[in-house]
Structure 1
Amino acid sequence: MSETQGISDRSMSRAGDATADMPQLVLTIAGLTACRSHGGARFCLSMGRLDLASLQPAALVGPSGSGKSTLLDVLGLVMTPTRLAAFMFFPSSEQPVDLAKLIEKRHEAGLTDMRRRYLGYMPQTGGLLPFLSVGENIRMSARLNDRLDEAYLDQLAQLLDLPAALMRRFPKDLSIGQRQRVSLARAMAHRPRLLLADEPTASLDAVTAGAVTGLLLDLSPRFGITPVIATHDERLFGRDGVRRLHVEARAGAEPNTVDAKVQI
């Protein structure tokens, strides 16, 4: 039993009764305030209650600097909120995990375990390690989780148009579009419960951006993964079935402050 699972069993003994009648969720988070300070300026993002349904893609829509990445950092367990009323995570076949409790207790080992096992991340620039081949980059998260499934990875590579010959090459030899498809494969390699993508099409031309968006939206739910994508281009996510959450920022009441809010 993992350390996180042990905490889950102890801290969530009442969760079964509370969530028995709820639709299948990936997470629920409520009463969030997350603040950053830099150079005398202060930025604060707030959000009411968000219930994220399993396998329903969600797009965080807003201009640069509106707070999309801040929310992804909170969901990705790499930023400690200033205020948090509730934060529950629902693995597909295990007890719910009270992330708010882990954060309150500063349980870094438990949070690290959650990130490793259940979260996938696709950064804006791909984030591939230059000293590893394409194949090694893709397999990295699966190896770290002891979930290396070659048949699944072969299927994933085929669907993402990543031929076997490409697996021996290095990131510097790839086009931008190829790097983003490799980044998506790596994020999905260990079959995470939740995939967080931060502006994955920002550096792509319109045609390639549409192709990468289509792959991200189509393939993630197909393999049991729920994607949350930060984007400044709402047009890419206009299809039915995509939940759009608008993030808006405005000048705060105090000098050198910005207040942002997620519209649920």
Structure 2
Amino acid sequence: MLVIRDLSIRRGGASGYKVTLPDMTLANGDMVALTGPSGCGKSTLLEVIGAILRPDRLGEYRLGNPPRDIAGPLLAENEVLLADIRARELGFVLQNGGLLPWLSVSHNITLTRRLVGMTAHSAWLETAITQLGVTPLLNKMPAQLSIGERQRVAFVRAIAHQPRLLLADEPTAALDPDNASRLFSLMVEMVRSLDMAAIVVSHDWQRVSDFGLRCYRATTTEGHSVFSPV
């Protein structure tokens, strides 16, 4: 499903902070966590994998089956291809949900499908909406939702177009422990049942451990973080 080798990016110029991922391989249904101290480059690495930031070095990046080459357009900064990759292959869950405040919950969710030419609704999407308890929220506006409701809606929106890879940046950071565990459980269940793959940035090592996720942890030295499986 996902193969990345020899990825490296330096933020802040020649003397800036360097983030390295030597190797990552995920199969369908895999969900892994990026962990490490604040400032070690977890979000930076997620943005490179999300085809937002250009790495300084990238030996291989393939996604899907049959595999689609991501390394070529990413290194070439081919924005036309990268926009298509982000729209079709990737799903993003942000810390604050990132919902568009002028659209209803229903329109927020279906927007990602419309952007890639899919029908607004499908049996698959209805199942996801039901399982995540979003049905009573569909006609509400984002401002009317609790934090936990916004995060559940954001998760449905992120997977509405059935992406191959879900990327989540601290999706439970703003939630109380009960809601955080509930959302994390739903994410794990949906990723595994839908044969997606997922990478989650998390400071919550205990929750990562409780849900049995494989972990890529940052080993930090002066000016450099290396993410390796533990």
TM-score range, shorter chain: over 0.9
Structure 2 Cα separation of the partners of residues 231 and 248 of structure 1: 15
Structure 1 residue 241: Cα displacement: 5.0
Q: Say whether the 8 Å CA contact 2:54–2:77 is kept in structure 1.
A: no
Given the alignment of the two structures, is residue 114 of structure 1 paired with residue 88 of structure 2, yes or no?
A: no
Which runs of no fewer than 5 residues in structure 1 stay unpaired? Answer: 1-25, 252-257
Match of 2:2 among 27, 36, 40: 27
Hey, what does 1:131 align to over in structure 2?
Answer: 102
Alignment of 1:111-190 (within 5 A): 111-148=82-119, 149-164=121-136, 166-190=137-161
Q: Say whether the 8 Å CA contact 1:56–1:241 is kept in structure 2.
A: no
Structure 2 Cα separation of the partners of residues 157 and 131 of structure 1: 20
Q: Say whether the 8 Å CA contact 1:45–1:260 is kept in structure 2.
A: yes
Which runs of no fewer than 5 residues in structure 2 stay unpaired? Answer: none
User: Given residue 261 of structure 1, which amino acid in structure 2 is its aligned partner?
Assistant: V
Aligned length: 228
For residues 62-87 of structure 1, give each alpha carbon's deviation from its aligned partner in whole angstroms, at most 9, with x where no partner exists: 22211111111111000000111222
Match of 1:57 among 31, 51, 66: 31
Q: Say whether the 8 Å CA contact 2:30–2:196 is kept in structure 1.
A: no
Hey, what does 1:83 align to over in structure 2?
Answer: 57
Distance 1:41 1:212, change over 3 A: farther
Q: Say whether the 8 Å CA contact 1:119–1:192 is kept in structure 2.
A: yes
The RMSD of aligned alpha carbons is: 1.7
Q: Which runs of 4+ in 1 moved over 6 A?
A: none
Larger radius of gyration: 1
Alignment of 1:217-228 (within 5 A): 217-228=188-199
After TM superposition, the score normalised by the length of structure 1 is 0.81
Over the matched positions of the two proteins, sequence identity in percent amounts to 36
For residues 212-237 of structure 1, give each alpha carbon's deviation from its aligned partner in whole angstroms, at most 9, with x where no partner exists: 10011111221222111100001112
Structure 1 residue 125: Cα displacement: 0.6
Structure 1 Cα separation of the partners of residues 178 and 129 of structure 2: 20
Hey, what does 1:195 align to over in structure 2?
Answer: 166
Hey, what does 1:16 align to over in structure 2?
Answer: none
Match of 1:44 among 1, 4, 18: 18
After TM superposition, the score normalised by the length of structure 2 is 0.93
